[in-house]
Chains A and B, each alone.
Chain A
Amino acid sequence: MPPDTHKPRRPLLSSNSLWRMKSYLRPYATRLVFIWLAAIVGIGAGLALPLISEQVIDGPVAHGDSAGLLPLGLLAVGVGVVEALLIFFRRWAQVKPVLGLETRIRDDLYEHLQRLPMGFHGDWQSGQLLSRATTDLSTIRRFLGFGMLFLVMNILQLITVTVLLLNKYWPLGLLVLASSVPIVWTSLRFEKRYIKISRQVQDEQGDLATLVEESALGIRTIKAFGRRHHVYDRYDDAALKVYGSSMSKVRLSAKFFSFLEIIPNITLALVLLLGALAVGSGALTLGALVAFTTLMLQLVWPIASLGYILAMGQEAMTSADRLMEVMDTVPAIEGGTQTIERPRGHLRFEGVGFRFADADEPVLRDVWLEVKPGETVAVVGATGAGKTTLTALVPRLLDPTSGRVTIDGQDVRDLKLTTLRQVVATAFEEPTLFSMSVRENLMLGRRDATEEELAAAIQTAQAMFVYDLPWGLDTRIGEQGLSLSGGQRQRLALARAVLSRPRILVLDDTLSALDVETEALVEEALRHVLREATGIVVAHRASTVLLADKVALLRDGTITHVGQHQELLAQVPEYRELLAQDADFDGASEGALR
């Protein structure tokens, strides 16, 4: 579990979380009643078959009554058909509520997660969230959909059969009842241990997967240093661990399953012994003995699966807890109510400070900065000075811990999130591309953009390469599609930001991965865009700084100087330190090499 400050501090009551899921089943109440009825009647039909066999043996067969045989035989066939049909209707009817429950919860979870702020997502890896949306949900679905039903059905069946057997011939009934005790006890114990060892195997497989991932992503580094054997040894250790635990699992189940088979067989032998003796002494009919043996075998599965189902219930409770832990997290950043009719893009940082919840030192302290409408400010600072944090405060990806950020005089926290994020657009240094078409990726912030606007944004970002992709703007990119170079990705992120036509444009070192010729072209185009919008540009290179009207120097979490590039270069040694040597060889090479 990640260290986390967003989780509610409340004691988790297991059955409680699971119980809260019941509201998702409410729309299917009538259907559920039908399912339960079908299940109960089905049990009756299943039990009827051996009883009819008994009648056949003791009645027509024993008395040579061939006329009585046919009705009983047909009854057996009829009951068999009814049992099968009931199973069919029950299973068919189950589909809707079971899947409806799962789908609705998943939708709700997704919606909730989208509302949770960056702080939450920084603490939770997407894999942890995914396992809640898939594995945990399936566990809950299985239990609420099948497990609970089987649990009740099995207990019902167990009771009915035992009563039936006791009624028929109580010594044998007692024997069968007694034989169920070791089975239930062992399966409960087995399930507990089995779950534990399965978890262990899963965890170890997870560790193994991490090593696999690293070996694939770091292949260049491994090859460059020739550390194949080193990496293999690490992997082999982990693989051996998985092997060891898997073997314990195998041994455990081998023991359990052979035990599960020997008990009913021994019981069967004893039933035969006592039953035959009873038949001999006339206490039991022949037909009843045959019915006894079949009924007894019918009990094996319900008894054995009790442990399994109870364990499933336990798991479902854990899963429900894990799910509710996320669902109960209250979004720390909620939008306000204000809107801005005609945003001018007047941005002010007023004594802004920011500290991560688990850090001692603040990242930002007492930052004052004003960016007038249409003006562009470059933020320059050493690595770790807090530049990215500063820019994240504007669209409220983070909220300041002191002071305030205002747009046109309004605190950003008072604005509706949709309004705010319409006014502000950011192009990030590490651009996020989704596994979707180029078009969908670009129109992330503005779905109503026209083809012309799209083309213009692509032009501005010098991203014309998209037209050369196999399917043009319809080509899928991202993880599941065509892979693009770092520079291409940055240009798309830039086009995306430009396309959303923001009043305030934030460029978080967006040009770092561009080769120098492209950078020059992009900068030229950006100059036009920035003339119309308010801009904040995080910059590492002098060339980028020149896009701005003025420069703010960020040092140790606060702004120490604001001024013109040349001015700062001449007067502030720290500034010179940061940018002076920044001359691009390839950039200068343009003219020289041609």
Chain B
Amino acid sequence: MTTTTTPPPPNASGTASWRGVASEDQDELPEKVSVLLRARSRRLLGNLLRPYRKKITLLVGIIVVSNAAGLSIPFLVSIGIDSGIPPIRQGSGPSVLLTVVGVILAAAVTQAITRQAFLRLSGRIGQSILLELRRRVFDHFQRLSLSFHEQYTSGRVISRLTSDIEAIAELLQSGFDALVKAVLTMVGTAVLLLVLDVHLGLVALVPLPLLLLFTKWFRRQSAIVYRRTRETVALVIVHFVESMTGIRAVQAFRREPRNQEIFQQLNDDYRGANARSMQLGATFMTGIKLIGNMTIGGVLLYGGWLALHGEVKVGVLAAFLLYLRQFYEPMQEVSQFYNTLQSAGAALEKLSGVLEEEPSVPEPREPAALPPGGARGKVRFEGVRFAYVEEMPILPRLDLTIPAGQSVALVGATGAGKTTLAKLISRFYDPTEGRVLLDGVDLRTLDEPTLRQAVVMVTQENFLFSGTVADNIRFGSPDATDRQVREAAKAIGAHEFIAGLPDGYDTEVGKRGGRMSAGQRQLVAFARAFLADPAVLILDEATSSLDVPSERLVQRALRTILADRTALIIAHRLSTVEIADRVLVMERGEVVEDGPPARLIAASGRFAGLHQAWLDSLS
């Protein structure tokens, strides 16, 4: 992996200065792709293949039989010509010929059957491995902590699970079979040629070293060209997609001519890369064909001379001509297949890297239980310290108890540590020091289902999944009945607008007619959280994208929702804070004021000042 740590000078890319500079994408193919994978990729591969050890052994047996049968046919033809024809000429009947033809037919049938068996079995193994890999990587991504995802970004997660898996699928589907067949055919043919006639065989194999050198040259060139093609096409795609998704801005700002200019340039670069790739292919194909044809010519000349002097039979010469055809053709396939192998190798490399990541918020080995009767919702911070970077703690040391059922509002400027506090309670992160307790149990000892049943966080960026509105609300509690879903929506005040959608609760989210405003989406998210019915509910700026009427609606609902559960509310609107039992004013990771809103207003601290300013703005 190559990572640029020092920024290159601006405009280093010359003509493409419009793109700007970014740190090199860490996912790019490593500079020198070796077919020999790194240790971790090999481990993963071994691990994936292990369950199929017996089947693979069987597979090897089948393929050897299949190839032997296939290779024997031209040989049998030569026997037919050399030993079958003389008896007929001498009038002693075609019995030898018939035997040979019978054997050829048997070989042909054997080859077809074993070939089919091979294709099926190798296909099954390949697809099973692919399925296992898909499952493993997906599950692993879901297990990895939020801190990982925040750094890794969704785009990379998506390409791991789509294009990388597909690169491996491509290898299994199109390349693997061709490779095995080609290698076995070449080795088998070479051996057979030597067995048939050592001298002629040696002559036929003379160009082999040249061929190998040529192939090596091609592989190296093709790696470069392939990389260039991939890079250029990626730029074309990005520019195309961004122009289309951002068409509103493009048109509003008369960007079209400049876009066209850039696109044509990118498209032309892609054309150039493709042209080089095609020219390289042309050169290689020609080379192979040239070597093959010249060998055939040479064999014909030398073989003819040998036959002339009775040192080799005509049938053997015929067999040579047949074999040489199949000797050179697989070579082309193998080389074309090299790109597939290369990208699959790189993909495996990246996937094995992901699978080696450990969740920074691990599941407990022996999960503890909450007190009988489920969570009550008492939250306690004991000497909690939290820092992303050791020297700059977000929370230097926090001790705090929130009794079950209390609604707490967190107030403070950006960077005061409000969101960190919320993330610690929902265990998106673990504290650097100290512990966070729910009903007296350390969060780190609770297993995921128990914890998530008890603590739910609703943020500003709420995600709606494809599916209906009802499905999305039911995400909070997958077993809920339609009635319960409706009840939740009613409680939150979302029923009215949902009922007004084209298909009501069955409206597909995201499709036409199901397009919802940010506020409406947030109401669905609230209904989802309400349906989940957690003992502790955290709202992180959850109402900030709502317009005033929607917010008012939610606030009314919030009073009902918060009534019998612990709640932590982070909001910059004072109206939301008002419904809290207790207000915490935070500053640089510390609680500087703590008390019921009324008492804090009566005092002359920070909160009182804020409240006064708010009242003033209302008048």
Separation in Å of the B614 CB from the closest CB of chain A? 5
| Across-interface contacts of A240 in B (CB, < 8 A) | 131
Report if A19 contacts B (CB, 8 A).
Answer: no
Given contacts A280-B94, A471-B20, A269 and B105 within 8 Å (CB-CB) = yes
- By the criterion CB–CB under 8 Å, are B115 and A257 in contact? yes
- By the criterion CB–CB under 8 Å, are A99 and B278 in contact? yes
Given contacts A113-B244, A133-B240, A230-B475, A280 and B85 within 8 Å (CB-CB) = yes
Nearest-CB residue, chain B, relative to A382: B549
Q: Which of A240-254 contact B (CB under 8 A)?
A: 240, 242-243, 246-247, 250-251, 253-254
Interface residues as binary, B251-263 with A (CB distance below 8 Å gives 1, 0 otherwise): 1111110111001
Partner pick for B462 among A60, A73, A221, A273, CB 8 A cutoff: A221
Report if A479 contacts B (CB, 8 A).
Answer: yes
A85–B282 Cα gap in the complex (Å)? 10
Count residues of chain B with CB under 8 A from any CB of chain A. Answer: 178
Which stretch (A49-57, A371-379, A455-463, A520-528) binds chain B?
A49-57
Which stretch (B264-272, B341-349, B389-397, B434-442) binds chain A?
B264-272
Which secondary structure dominates chain A's binding surface? helix
A114–B256 Cα gap in the complex (Å)? 6
- By the criterion CB–CB under 8 Å, are A95 and B279 in contact? yes
Report if B15 contacts A (CB, 8 A).
Answer: no
- By the criterion CB–CB under 8 Å, are A478 and B142 in contact? no
| Across-interface contacts of A57 in B (CB, < 8 A) | 304, 307, 314, 317-318
Interface residues as binary, A210-246 with B (CB distance below 8 Å gives 1, 0 otherwise): 1011111111111111111011100110011011001
Given contacts A76-B301, A92-B279, A212-B162, A437 and B19 within 8 Å (CB-CB) = yes
| Across-interface contacts of A409 in B (CB, < 8 A) | none
Q: Which of B336-381 contact A (CB under 8 A)?
A: none
Q: How many A-B residue pairs have CB under 8 A?
A: 513
- By the criterion CB–CB under 8 Å, are A134 and B237 in contact? yes
Interface residues as binary, B469-502 with A (CB distance below 8 Å gives 1, 0 otherwise): 0000001101000000000000000000000000
| Across-interface contacts of A209 in B (CB, < 8 A) | 158, 161-162
| Across-interface contacts of B532 in A (CB, < 8 A) | 225
Report if B97 contacts A (CB, 8 A).
Answer: yes
Max count, chain B CB within 10 A of own CB: residue among A134, A480, A577: A480
Partner pick for B123 among A69, A223, A254, A483, CB 8 A cutoff: A254
A580–B300 Cα gap in the complex (Å)? 98
Interface residues as binary, A435-449 with B (CB distance below 8 Å gives 1, 0 otherwise): 111111000110100
- By the criterion CB–CB under 8 Å, are B245 and A383 in contact? no
Which stretch (B56-64, B202-210, B573-581) binds chain A?
B573-581
The 16 sampled A-B contact pairs (Cβ below 8 Å) are A83-B293, A96-B275, A113-B247, A212-B162, A213-B154, A219-B157, A220-B463, A226-B451, A236-B135, A358-B512, A382-B549, A383-B519, A383-B520, A440-B19, A445-B254, A586-B414
A357–B336 Cα gap in the complex (Å)? 50
Separation in Å of the A345 CB from the closest CB of chain B? 16
Separation in Å of the A188 CB from the closest CB of chain B? 20
Max count, chain B CB within 10 A of own CB: residue among A92, A417, A472, A588: A588
A447–B587 Cα gap in the complex (Å)? 44
| Across-interface contacts of A481 in B (CB, < 8 A) | 20, 22
Which stretch (B29-37, B38-46, B185-193, B284-292) binds chain A?
B284-292
Partner pick for B141 among A215, A426, A438, A447, CB 8 A cutoff: A215
| Across-interface contacts of B166 in A (CB, < 8 A) | 205
A266–B103 Cα gap in the complex (Å)? 11
Interface residues as binary, B104-134 with A (CB distance below 8 Å gives 1, 0 otherwise): 1101110111011001100110111011001
Nearest-CB residue, chain A, relative to B310: A64
Nearest-CB residue, chain A, relative to B80: A272
- By the criterion CB–CB under 8 Å, are A262 and B308 in contact? no
| Across-interface contacts of A159 in B (CB, < 8 A) | none
